[in-house]
Structures are given as structure tokens and as C-alpha cells.
Structure 1
Amino acid sequence: MIRRLFVLSLVFLVVLSCKNETSETEVKSNNAEFTKLLEDYNQGGYELDPMIATNAGNTDYNTAFPDFLSADYKTKKKTYYESYKNKLSHIDFESLNSTEKMSYNVLNWDIDINLEAMTFKKDLMPIDQMWSKNLDFNQLASASNAQPFKTVKNYNDWMTRVDNYLVWLNSTIENMRTGMSEGYVLPKPLIKKVIPQFETLATGEVVNHLYYAPIKVIPDSFTQDERETITADYSTMIKDKIMPAHQSMVDFLTNEYLPKGRMSSGIDATPLGADYYSHQIKLYTTTNMTADEIHQLGLSEVSRIRSEMEAIKEQVGFEGDLNDFFEHVRTKESLMPFTERSQVIAFYDSIHDVMKPQINKLFGKQPVTAFEVRRTQPFREKSAAANYSSGSLDGTRPGIFYTPIPYVESYNIFDKESLFLHEAIPGHHFQIALQQENKELPDFRKTLWYSAYGEGWALYTEAMGKELGLFKDPYLYFGMLSSEIHRAIRLVVDTGLHSKGWTREQAIQYSLENEAKSEASITSEIERYMANPGQALSYKIGQLKLIELRERAAKALGDKFDIREYHNQVLETGCIPLQLLEDKIDAWIADSK
């Protein structure tokens, strides 16, 4: 079934629609039916997942949080995708301009992959330590993210949204109980990571609670009565709703769920099985590669990158084998120079300052959306990785690079220049902000995310460090290689865990033997892969495709090749499946000749 669906998707991916997307001077299509279809699809997507609307800066859905686990919601979601699949089949493809043809193909792929996902019972494991909806929601509670707290209505909207969220939170317990009876349960190590996340929100003083944060930023324009009313309402909400609901989760997870947690590590040990992992590979790589193919590719890439690491080890004069050098880098005091968290933020700002004069040489198009570096919120930083949070579509909210700093004295900088390139500039910030700012794209594509493209681009940009004035210290260049081998290792351990019977401990050991990250960091990473099979594959698969296409273009165009134009061609589309990107670049090469 999965292979048949994938073949059907490919039929649309290779349609002759892959010329360069619409330029600003191209005449708009007269196909009003397709334009409306895209607008309706986007609006319907906001209704299905209002969090997407909020993150995009659309305030129309700021009270909404559906019970994503209910039968009614699932029926609504399936009807949504099936109806647009049918509408799409009635569109005259040849009447569309190039941007619209790309949108047609992207939409078709998006519908197919979402319908396929609904054939699995993954929602019987709705909570994990990194990817579940409660973590996204709690970020909004911090009053420093997409949910606005500027008007009295904003504050009332949030209280309504909290009530709706708590309905979903209660449904997660019901679903997990069903999962326990049918064999859909998390591994024990993941459950142990989840429990403290709920404990943090179940205890403590109201005024120190995460959900009290909006009270601390009440605008000065509010009247005294408004301030007192909102403060009282929020205090009651925390004490009588938030804390009891999260305590109920702690009790359930500790007393019922943890004892039933599984000892196996891979998704193939659950009823989801190998078919689900194949689906996840397709979702996250947008290819039809098999687990075995990816595993072998990972082993090959690890071997290649280790050879480059050996050269750096010799350059700095280290005596001992590569694994000894990993430990040396992990513990080298000069690579852990900070005593205050503010110094970490200043360090990242300095990286940006070094790069600024070189950016124009590599990028013709650059975003206007503002950018900031912030510390990851304390409630999640012990289990979170560094990440990028996109700005709003209207540009009023900046793109934000969040870095966890739980223990500042041990914050090692050896891989942090490459981290900034990936998560910030020119990685996620350039790619996502340019996608959102592109007026030629329909709205649904401005917030669309395909990990192979988005994460592949971010990993691709890490290798630009020297061109951008970075990696002057060989240890920091070693950090770039460490980041790359980390993504190559993911190909090995993710497929190992989910298709070859590897244990959590085997995956941790393989990583320790091949990269310089600490055991605690590696353990957190392996548990991340256990929670979301396949996601970790997207980085290296996407990066290798971008490198392949760049080399193909440079060889074909010779002196006509312009790296800035290649990057423009890649970035102007926003996130799309890799096959569509390859067809587009091939068409650009042909036109450029």
C-alpha cells in the first residue's frame, strides 16, 4: 500500500512543471478556481491546526486548540484531505503558470503523505519528551513566543485556549490507556524524561509558574482594574486548572504508564511495525529510499568524515587515536570559557558580526525579518536541543535562535559556530524567512515544512563557515566535522534502532565511538530518535542532494555558474519535496545554458 501511494505521488512530481518559478514580472494565471482552492486549503489548515495560524501571526484562531485525538477531529481531518484531493483532480494543470504548477505538485504530495499517516495508530502514543503538542503549547505560555499578550482580549483569548488545551491533555491519558492495552507504549527511558516536564508545571508557587509569565509582562496601558482582574483570573487558572491537570498526568505516567513501558527501543517492536517506519522515511526524506540503503549510506559517510577528522587531529598535534581526541575535545577547558549565560548569547552575536561582510558573496536574496538569539526557556532546556523559532508572516515577530544553557560552566563551544550556521544564519533563518517573505508563494506554502529540504539546507550551510570567515580555529572546524558526522551517525543509529533491532545502549555506544559529544548529550539525542522515527534521517539526505545539485550545476554551467543564483533557485521555492527541487534545478541549468 505504501509503495503504491508513493508511486502515485511520483507521477505528479515528475510532471513537466519544473521550470523556474514565477518571476515578479510574470503574468498571474487566470485560473481563479485554483487560486481559491489554495486559499481555502490554507484556511482549512489553520482550522485543523490553529497553532500553525498563531505561529504565522494570524490571530483569528488564538482561542482554539482542537482535541486532536477525538474521533470527530480525525473524521474532519480525513474529509479535509480527501476533498482537496478530489478538487485538485479537476484543475486544468496546463492552464497554470510555473509557480502554480509547483504548488499543484506540492499540494498533491502533501495530501497523499497526510492521508497515509492517518492509516497508522501513532496517536496512541501522543506524548513524548520532545515532539508532542504540550511542549509547543507550553512555549506559548511563556509570553515570549507567538501567542500575543498586548491587549485585554489577548489575555482572555489565552485563558479560553488553555481550557481547550486541557481537554486535549485529558484525552492523551485516555489514548495512552488504550495504547497500553494494544501494545502502543513508549520505551521506559522516554517516559522517565516526560514525567519531570509535567512535574515542573504541577508544583511550586503560582507567581513562579510558567503560566504566570504573561502577568509579568502586562502592558502599562492596562488600567488598574484590568491588571487586578487578569492577575486574579490567571492565578486561579494556574492553581485550579493547570497544576491539577499536570499533577494528574504525573500520577498517571508514574503509577500506570511507566510500569507498562516497553524495554525495546525501536518502533518496529510496536504494532506500528516496519510499514510505519517506511512511511516515516518517506515523510522525512521525501524519497523512496529503504532503511537498508540509508543505513549503508550512513556507514559510508561516517567513514569518510572520520578520515577528515584524523587530519585535524594531526594538525593540532594530538597524540592518541581519534576516540581519545573526542574525549580531549569534550573536556578541553579552553573550549568551555563561560561563567555567565549572557556570555553565551554574546558569543553567538559575535559569530554573526564576523559573517556579515561575507554574506553578500554567497547570497543575492536575504531576509528582512529580524533575528535574535535567546536562551531556551528553563522549563524545557534540560531535555531540549538548540532550535530555531520562525518569525511571523508579517515580520513583526523576529526569528529566534534558542540555545539551552542548563550548565553554563560546561557549555562547550567547539561545535557552536557550525550550530549557529545551521539553526540561525544562513541556515534556518534565511530559508524560513525568505519562504515567508516570498510574495509569489501561496499562503499554504509559506508555512509548509519538509524536513529533508529544511534540515538539508541547514546542514548544507554549515560547510560555508570558512567562506563566511569562521572556523579559523582548527578545533572549531573539527566542530563542523563533528556536526556533519553527527548527522551521518543518525543515518546509522536511526535505521539501526527502528529496523535492525538495535538497543538504546548500542546506539549510544556507536555514537560515543564516532563523535565528540558528551554521553549525556548523545543519550538525549538517541532518545530523540526513539521518540520520532525517521526525522533524524532528513538532514544528511537533504544535504547530500543539495551538494549533488550544486556540483551538477557547476559542472554543466562552467564559468556561467553563480553560487548566489544557485542559492536563489533553491531558496525561492520554500520547502518542497527533493524530487521537485531536483527537477527545478535541472530546468534552471538547461535554461541557463
Structure 2
Amino acid sequence: MKKYSYILLALLCFACADEKKSDTSETTKNTTTFSAFLDDYYAKGLELNPLLATATGDHRFNDQFPNFLSDEHQEKLKEHYRFFKDSLQGFDNANLSESEQLSKAILNWDCDMNLRQLSFKNDLLMPINQMWTLNLSVGQLASGAGAQPFKTVEDYHNWLKRLEGYNTWLVTAKERMQEGIENEFVLPKSLIKKVIPQFEVLANTEVEKHLFYSPIKNFPKDFSDESQQELKNKYTKFLTETLIPTFKDIHQFLKQDYLNAGRESSGISAIPYGEAYYNHAIKNYTTTNMTADEIHELGLKEVVRILAEMEKVKTQVGYKGDLKSFFNYVRTNKELMPYDEPQQIIDNFNAIHEKMKPQIEKLFDLKPKTPFEVRRTEAFREASASAEYNQGSLDGTRPGIFYTPIPDAKTYNVFSDEALFLHEAIPGHHYQISLTQENEKLPAFRKTLWYSAYGEGWALYTESLGKELGLYTDPYQYFGMLGMEMHRAIRLVVDTGLHAKGWTREQAIAYSLSNEAESEASIISEIERYMANPGQALSYKIGQLKIRELRARAKEQLGEKFDIKEFHNQVLRTGCIPLQLLEDKIDAWIQEKSAK
């Protein structure tokens, strides 16, 4: 799920609904004030990021697209976080409920992390990469299948106006990249080479076939002929005279000046203040104080542990060679590539869902109301995309969507599909995010927070629930789960290797190929993903291990009082928060249960 971008900051979380409140008049008065303060933080945040508002289903700002890269907007963001951090200190914990104290701690953390992020120039001077950046999110909106609505004539006018702002952002992005060249803030050449084809398509596709023309080809049936013609003319004019020329300009810049300036190094430490930035990224994405060395060593140990489990599966299926050759056997086994058409792959994911439904009751008594769908990743970004989950709208009218890239159905390997569905869909991101959105007692600002250590940690933890959910009966699917866990363990090694230990892209690729069964093409895409967003890949395993640790602790200390459904409720009700706050919450629950 979800990556660092302005839209994907809209991934959502869940919090406690059963925390006790004092009923004194002073607390009630303070609670009302604090609640209004939190609402104000959320409301002003949406004004600063209208794309986030649209993603949550708030359509008041659908025509707006601020220039996120301008000095003016950067300063507004800093003022926003400084003001609310300073104001937060005026609320005494003694007058707040447990839930409000948690909200206070989360908001303080959120302001600190955002202010620290804004102190670096990475996002400003390297605003475009192959996987994580705003241009890709806007492409999803332009397809007409995303959060941007295209139901009324006004919706179409709103999007056209928003595209004017996007065009300004693109022009500024080029200026910022030119500034980045002058100040040694540039992407590695290998990443630039992946961005160039993305803009080449946008620069050279004729208007009627263009991605950004998609809404014109899908008018609602109730639009009059006059309205359709007017919109067609306006969209054609804007694309022809403004947006496509901008795409052409950026494409030329990328394949000439920017590629020539691209760096040969792979890690973030090569740019100015790169080491300090990576230390911040570790804290931001893991919500811990772990060091790069500690994480690297943890990753090495986890790789050894999982390799031992993989050996057992290799023996079970009767394979006689060594484990490395077994990886290649799994990668190339045609029996694990049974499909000819993309729809067959979508159907298989839906079949996995049906298979596990009878068992879900044993582990969960909280289930989301938000609809859910499996879709193929859009063609314009499919080549560089990973499987991902996009949250539904806050009101539940837009479904949660599990996107899976299928560049070639005939070479699509199914060996990890059960684990992938658990992670990206149910009970992974779809449960975690949708339950948050549906919790009416949760402060609005906490519904739009995303801490990868919690969110991705939960999703990786749910992969281990497969046997309890009636899955992994096929040893290759269980091997697929081990493979996905190995993939996240390897991330601890290669991400820190790239960004803190001077590893090259090629070293990271070689290490991955030696320890997992992913295809070489997939591994290359993954390594380049880590290069583009330092630290994000660490969040999965760190979060998963913490949730596993808390489950084991609760089971040991509570004995017969332990209820797995109640434990899952407690984790989900806590929501997207730093891991230390999650641990404090579970420890308090264990104490409360033990005392009964």
C-alpha cells in the first residue's frame, strides 16, 4: 500500500471506541475544546491538501491543486505544524480522557515528523521518481477510475481547473529538478531511466487516446449533447495547447539534461545531508529509535530463520537440489503460471476470498461495511507498479480496491497469491483502513494518518494467519508466504545496505536473488523502489515483529483469558499510531484483563 505521496497520505487507520471518560464538568468543557482543536487541525490540513480531501470523499475542493513545490506552500505547511504543536501544549492531560491523551500524543508526533521532513530538500528538489510521486497519483485520478468524481458537468469543470494547477506543479517540478542538479540533489540514473518512458507516453499519445482524455470517453448518460461537445472542446484545447506540451518539455528534460546529471550512486547518503535524512527516515517509517546497524543485523537474522523454514518446504515437495536452485525452479515452474488472460488472475483472487470466508469468524468479530474489489493496475503505471490497496471513501460510497499489476498474464506466477491477498486485501489493509473510516468515535484527523510501521506491519502480520484461515494447504502457497516474509526481511538488509552501508544497486539485487524466489525483473523493480524512498521498506518487518511480540506476550500472560478476536480488536482499535503507543495500549489491556 501505499507509498509516500500527497494523495497516499490519505491511507487510514482505526482507534479505541471503549476508553473511559471522566464526567466532571471541567473535563466536559475541556473535552469540547480539545475536540474542536482536533477538528480544526484536520480541517486546515484538508485546505492545505485538497487532494487528500478528495481522496477521503470530501469534495469541497475538487477544483483545487496547490503548488506543493512552491516556497509559499512549504512555508504554509511549516506554519501549520508549528502552530498546532505549540497550541497542543495548552491542553493538560489531567483534563483529557485516555483516548484524547492518545490523540494528543499522536498529533504531537505527527507535527514533529512533518516539520522534520520539511527541513530536508529531498521532496522539493527530487519531486518526481518512478513509483512514489504525485504525478503518478494524478494519473490515477485522470483515468476516471479513482477518487476524482466525474458524475456531473461541474465535476468535469472541476477536474479541468484542477489540471491547470497540476500543470503549474509540473512546470515547477522541472524548475526544482534543475535546482536539484545545481545542488547535487538528483536521482540515480537507473531511476531516471524508468521515469522517462512514463513521460514519453504522456508526451506522445494523441489526444483522443490520451490518459487525460479518459473522462471525455466516459460521459454519464444524462449529459446533453451540448454539454458533451463543450467539454470535449475544452479538454481537447487544454490538452493540446497546455498539458501535453508540458509533458513533452519534461520528457525532453528528463532524457537529456536530467539523465546526464543523474548520479551513479544508489543510496541516499550520496546527496547532501543524506545520512541525517536516512536517520530521520528510519524513525519516520519504523516509529522507533532503532539504528541502521541494528536493523541490518535484525534483517540478517530473520533471513537465516526463514531460509530454514524454506528448506522444510523444499523437502516436503521432494525437490532434490539446493535452495537457490529451488528458488529458480519456483520462479520458472510453468505449472505455477496457469493463466492466459488477466481476468483469470482477478478471478483467482476472488476465489481465495471465498475460500477463507468460513474461517474469518474465528479470528475477527469486527468487519468493515465498505465494499471491496480486485482490479488490474492501470496500464500507464503497470510496468513499474507493485500490488497495492487504495482505500475507499470515508462515507463508504467508493470501494476499497486491491490493485494487482499483470503485465503478462502468461508469465504471471501464482505461488504467493494467497499471502498477497491477505496482505493487500482481507484481513490486511482493507480491514484495517475501512474499519477506521467507519468508526464514528474516532477524531477525523486520525482517519487520515498513515504510519507504515503500524499499517504495513499489520498487513504483513495478517499474512501469517493463512493456515488459521484455511489457506496454505498447497505447500507452494505456504512457500509463497515464506517468500513474502523473506522479501520483507531482505528489505531490512538491502535498504540499510543501500542507504547506510554503501551498497550498490547491483549488490542489493544479487543479495535478493540469492535469498528469495522472486523473478529478477521483480527484484530489480523492488531495489529501485527502495532507492526512490529510503526507509519505507523497513516498516513492514519492524511492525510485524512488534505485533507478533505483543500477541505472544498477551497469550502468555493471559493464558485461558486470551481471546484472539479481542486481541485483534485491540490492535485495530488503536489505529495507525507509533509502535510504542501500540505497545503501551496492549500492555494496559493485558493488565486490565489480568485483574478481572
> Which TM-score band (shorter chain)?
over 0.9
Which of 5, 12, 16 matches 1:21?
A: 16
Aligned-residue offset at 1:108: 0.4
Q: Partners in 1 of 2:564 and 2:289 — Cα distance? A: 29
Equivalent runs, 1:494-573 vs 2, <5 Å: 494-573=495-574
Is the CA contact 2:16–2:442 (under 8 Å) kept in the aligned structure 1?
A: no
Q: What residue identity is the alignment partner of 2:54? A: T
SS in 1 for 2:101: helix
Q: Deviations over 1:398-418 (max 9, x none)?
A: 000000001110000001110
Deviates more, 1:201-210 or 1:381-390: 201-210
For these two proteins, the number of residue pairs brought into alignment is 574
Q: What residue identity is the alignment partner of 1:40? A: D
SS in 1 for 2:232: helix
Q: Which residue of 1 aligns with 2:115?
A: 115
Q: What residue identity is the alignment partner of 2:114? A: N
Q: Partners in 2 of 1:156 and 1:437 — Cα distance? A: 31
Q: Partners in 1 of 2:242 and 2:479 — Cα distance? A: 49
Q: What residue identity is the alignment partner of 1:101? A: Q
Q: Which residue of 2 aligns with 1:39?
A: 39
Q: Which residue of 2 aligns with 1:106?
A: 106
Is 1:342 the equivalent of 2:337? no
SS in 2 for 1:59: coil
Q: Deviations over 1:186-209 (max 9, x none)?
A: 000000000111111111221211
Is the CA contact 1:435–1:574 (under 8 Å) kept in the aligned structure 2?
A: yes
SS in 1 for 2:450: coil
Q: Deviations over 1:184-232 (max 9, x none)?
A: 1000000000011111111122121111111122111111111111122
Q: Partners in 2 of 1:238 and 1:419 — Cα distance? A: 38
Q: Partners in 2 of 1:404 and 1:370 — Cα distance? A: 21
Aligned-residue offset at 1:447: 1.4
Equivalent runs, 1:95-494 vs 2, <5 Å: 95-122=95-122, 123-494=124-495
SS in 2 for 1:372: strand
Q: Deviations over 1:133-174 (max 9, x none)?
A: 111111100100100000111000000000001111111111
Q: What residue identity is the alignment partner of 1:388? A: Y
- Change in Cα spacing, 1:27 to 1:52, as seen in structure 2 (3 Å) is farther
Q: Which residue of 2 aligns with 1:3?
A: none
Q: Partners in 2 of 1:509 and 1:49 — Cα distance? A: 40
Is the CA contact 2:20–2:98 (under 8 Å) kept in the aligned structure 1?
A: no
Q: Which residue of 1 aligns with 2:59?
A: 59
SS in 2 for 1:379: helix
Q: Partners in 2 of 1:236 and 1:338 — Cα distance? A: 42
Is the CA contact 2:450–2:576 (under 8 Å) kept in the aligned structure 1?
A: yes
Q: Deviations over 1:226-268 (max 9, x none)?
A: 1111122112222222211111110111111000100000000
Q: Which residue of 2 aligns with 1:5?
A: none
Q: Partners in 1 of 2:356 and 2:236 — Cα distance? A: 46
Q: Partners in 2 of 1:291 and 1:214 — Cα distance? A: 46
Q: Partners in 2 of 1:197 and 1:68 — Cα distance? A: 21
Is the CA contact 1:418–1:462 (under 8 Å) kept in the aligned structure 2?
A: yes
Overall identity of the aligned pairs, in %: 59
Is the CA contact 1:277–1:534 (under 8 Å) kept in the aligned structure 2?
A: yes
Q: What residue identity is the alignment partner of 2:105? A: N
Q: What residue identity is the alignment partner of 1:49? A: N
SS in 1 for 2:401: strand
Aligned-residue offset at 1:27: 7.2
Q: Partners in 2 of 1:90 and 1:255 — Cα distance? A: 53
Deviates more, 1:46-55 or 1:236-245: 236-245
Q: Deviations over 1:118-142 (max 9, x none)?
A: 1111111111001111111111001
Deviates more, 1:355-364 or 1:497-506: 355-364
Is the CA contact 1:341–1:405 (under 8 Å) kept in the aligned structure 2?
A: yes
SS in 2 for 1:81: helix
Q: Partners in 2 of 1:218 and 1:101 — Cα distance? A: 48
Deviates more, 1:470-479 or 1:208-217: 208-217
Q: Deviations over 1:36-95 (max 9, x none)?
A: 110110011112211111110000111111111111111111110000011101112211
Q: What residue identity is the alignment partner of 1:57? A: G
SS in 1 for 2:469: coil
Q: What residue identity is the alignment partner of 2:16? A: E
Q: Partners in 1 of 2:241 and 2:590 — Cα distance? A: 62
Q: What residue identity is the alignment partner of 1:119? A: S
Is 1:68 the equivalent of 2:68? yes
Q: Which residue of 2 aligns with 1:15?
A: none
Q: Considering only aligned residues, what root-mean-square deviation do their CA atoms show, in Å? A: 1.1
Q: Which residue of 2 aligns with 1:84?
A: 84
Is the CA contact 1:268–1:277 (under 8 Å) kept in the aligned structure 2?
A: yes
Aligned-residue offset at 1:298: 0.1
Deviates more, 1:360-369 or 1:20-29: 20-29
Q: TM-score w.r.t. structure 2 length? A: 0.95
Is the CA contact 1:69–1:171 (under 8 Å) kept in the aligned structure 2?
A: yes
Q: Partners in 2 of 1:423 and 1:261 — Cα distance? A: 34
Aligned-residue offset at 1:521: 0.3
Q: Which residue of 2 aligns with 1:11?
A: none
SS in 2 for 1:467: helix
Deviates more, 1:299-308 or 1:441-450: 441-450
Aligned-residue offset at 1:272: 2.7
Q: What residue identity is the alignment partner of 1:21? A: C
Q: Partners in 1 of 2:130 and 2:247 — Cα distance? A: 15
Q: Partners in 1 of 2:150 and 2:575 — Cα distance? A: 30
Q: Partners in 2 of 1:339 and 1:25 — Cα distance? A: 56
Q: Partners in 2 of 1:76 and 1:391 — Cα distance? A: 29
Q: Partners in 1 of 2:21 and 2:475 — Cα distance? A: 48
Q: Which residue of 1 aligns with 2:10?
A: none
Q: Partners in 2 of 1:26 and 1:217 — Cα distance? A: 51
SS in 1 for 2:309: helix
SS in 2 for 1:143: coil
SS in 1 for 2:402: strand
Is the CA contact 1:435–1:446 (under 8 Å) kept in the aligned structure 2?
A: yes
Q: Partners in 2 of 1:402 and 1:69 — Cα distance? A: 29
Deviates more, 1:495-504 or 1:130-139: 130-139
What are the ranges of 5 or more consecutive residues in structure 1 without an aligned counterpart? 1-19
- Change in Cα spacing, 1:27 to 1:229, as seen in structure 2 (3 Å) is farther
Q: Deviations over 1:96-122 (max 9, x none)?
A: 112111111100000011111111111
Q: What residue identity is the alignment partner of 1:191? A: I
Is the CA contact 2:21–2:98 (under 8 Å) kept in the aligned structure 1?
A: no
Q: What residue identity is the alignment partner of 1:63? A: D
Q: TM-score w.r.t. structure 1 length? A: 0.96
Q: Partners in 1 of 2:440 and 2:99 — Cα distance? A: 11
Q: Partners in 2 of 1:208 and 1:574 — Cα distance? A: 42
SS in 2 for 1:592: helix
Q: What residue identity is the alignment partner of 2:371? A: A
- Change in Cα spacing, 1:310 to 1:176, as seen in structure 2 (3 Å) is same
Q: What residue identity is the alignment partner of 2:57? A: G
Q: What residue identity is the alignment partner of 1:46? A: L
Q: Which residue of 2 aligns with 1:13?
A: none
SS in 2 for 1:44: helix
Q: Partners in 1 of 2:93 and 2:373 — Cα distance? A: 42
